[in-house]
Structure 1
Amino acid sequence: MRILAIGAHPDDIELQCAGTLALYKRQGHEVFMAVATNGDMGNFDVPPAELAAIREAEFKAACAVIGAEPIWMGFPDEKLENTLANRLAFVDLIRSADPDLVITHGPDDYHPDHRYTHQLVWDALPLAGVGSLATAHPATARQVTLYFMDNVGGIGFQPTEFVDITETIEAKKAALAKHASQLRIFRQLMDVDLLDVVDTVGKFRGYQAGSRYAEGFAKVEAWYRGLSRRLLPEGSGASRFDYLKGDAQ
């Protein structure tokens, strides 16, 4: 399969679904990671143009950890809008990856860039297969299944499916660690360790899923997008019950 994850900012994918993407890659699938905005507003002490270049380099380094193909869209940070021109850019993004499955933000995330990314992906998906709508890449041959990834901190998000990422949690952390400029500013301004966030949320979702670590997703049920089979990968980690049995023996 071909999997496309689309995040609003350079570290969103790593925070929310990098464990699943790493699992897909290990299982032989093709993985694409796309980021909509350039992250140039994220640090108060680095000029925007310089920061955009830093964030792009960090994003590509994170993709290399996962083994994913990076796609940098370059929209201005904090200024993403749901316009027709932007919708067509997202149509072309989807066509360029020709995915079986797309993962992106849900509609109730905290940041406007996240919510506009959600809306642009939602609106672009049915258009990606319209052959008479011309973009740089040819139309896709199928409607694409869509999943929403978790919100930051797991707040206000109710997963419908889980992926056991016990075997890829360290790859997820390693990918996120490439975003040094973002990790630094969160520690400095908010006293938040983003690596601890993904570990804590991963364990929390793992408790729900019956594994050591998990990521949560909500599958979109819409006309021509529903499937009778699961597309998310199956992890090979032992369940918590299996660990308990091992401890008891």
Structure 2
Amino acid sequence: MTHVLAIGAHAGDMDLTAGAVLAQHVLRGDRATLLHLTLGERGHPRMTVPDYAKQKREEAETFAEKIGAGVRFLDYEDGLLPEDDDTKMRVGDMIRELKPDVILTHWSASIHKDHARTHRIVEDARFYGGLKTLEREREAYWANELYYADNWEDAEGFAPDTFVDLSEEAYEIWSQAITGYAYARGETYGFPYVDYYRALTIVRGAPAGFKRAQAFAAPKGSRQLRTKYFGKGA
């Protein structure tokens, strides 16, 4: 069994960019978990921050339930995500606890500073999680694979080299589940996230010879991988 952990800056980030892959792993009998560092609670121009925080948490829990994934939350503030050793240690502790085989997260460059910070936090957290000489509550654990998700907000310098062939069932589960997020429906600032990312599965799939795919970049960007699953048994 493979465990895929998707770590996003805000609730909804990894759901949108990697959710179909997570659903596909769950359908195979694997384990998937979403870890949200913030709720993204400052992302609605017509709702108060507390009200939208409550809504985003409910949306994240509903999405995870619909695709069969686990969901975890840290308590950082949207737009104020700290990039310090305490944050990296906390995420590293989550990696030690959850023991994922594969981690998915943000690309390094982004128009949103929380995304770029999450990229660096996760890279260091993976290191801290696997550092045997660093004593923490749980024993060290090294996550073998790391990939960066395909996000239009993180597009600068992003060159996908890993394409995951999506089954029709996984695509449909994700496609329906993601509409549970108000922002994805375009109800915050009007961007048609659902339409964009549904179409992107075709755009990324076609060059790889797939009907639909979600795309990722490996840390070294040195391999072309076409697969149906990450990790064990791919």
Give the match's secondary structure for 1:81: coil
Q: Work out the number of aligned pairs and report it.
A: 226
- Residue deviations 1:157-209, cap 9 Å, x none? 211110111422211222211212x235x34533x222101111111111122
Structure 1 spans left out of the alignment, 5+ residues: 235-249
Letter matched to residue 64 of structure 1: E
Matches of 2:154 and 2:105 in 1, distance apart?
Answer: 15
Contact 1:153 1:201 survives alignment (8 Å): no
**Counterparts of residues 82-231 of structure 1 (less than 5 Å):** 82-140=83-141, 142-152=142-152, 155-156=155-156, 157-167=158-168, 168-180=170-182, 182-183=183-184, 186-187=186-187, 189-190=189-190, 192-221=191-220
Q: CA deviation at 1:232?
A: 5.9
Matches of 2:154 and 2:118 in 1, distance apart?
Answer: 18
Give the match's secondary structure for 1:216: strand
> What is residue 242 of structure 1 aligned with on the other side?
none
Give the match's secondary structure for 1:128: helix
> What is residue 17 of structure 2 aligned with on the other side?
16
**Counterparts of residues 41-120 of structure 1 (less than 5 Å):** 41-120=42-121
> Does the C-alpha gap of structure 1 residues 154 and 124 become closer, same or farther in structure 2, counting only changes over 3 Å?
closer
Matches of 1:188 and 1:3 in 2, distance apart?
Answer: 29
Structure 2 spans left out of the alignment, 5+ residues: none
- Residue deviations 1:140-168, cap 9 Å, x none? 1x353111111227844211110111422
Contact 1:173 1:198 survives alignment (8 Å): no
Q: CA deviation at 1:109?
A: 2.6
Matches of 1:3 and 1:189 in 2, distance apart?
Answer: 30
What's the TM-score, normalizing by structure 2?
A: 0.88
Matches of 1:172 and 1:193 in 2, distance apart?
Answer: 16
The equivalent position to 1:233 in structure 2, one of 221, 229, 234, is: 229
> What is residue 245 of structure 1 aligned with on the other side?
none
Matches of 1:213 and 1:13 in 2, distance apart?
Answer: 18
* Structure 1 range deviating more: 64-73 or 168-177: 168-177
Contact 1:61 1:178 survives alignment (8 Å): yes
Root mean square deviation, CA, Å: 2.4
Matches of 2:133 and 2:82 in 1, distance apart?
Answer: 25
Matches of 1:209 and 1:155 in 2, distance apart?
Answer: 19
Matches of 2:198 and 2:214 in 1, distance apart?
Answer: 11
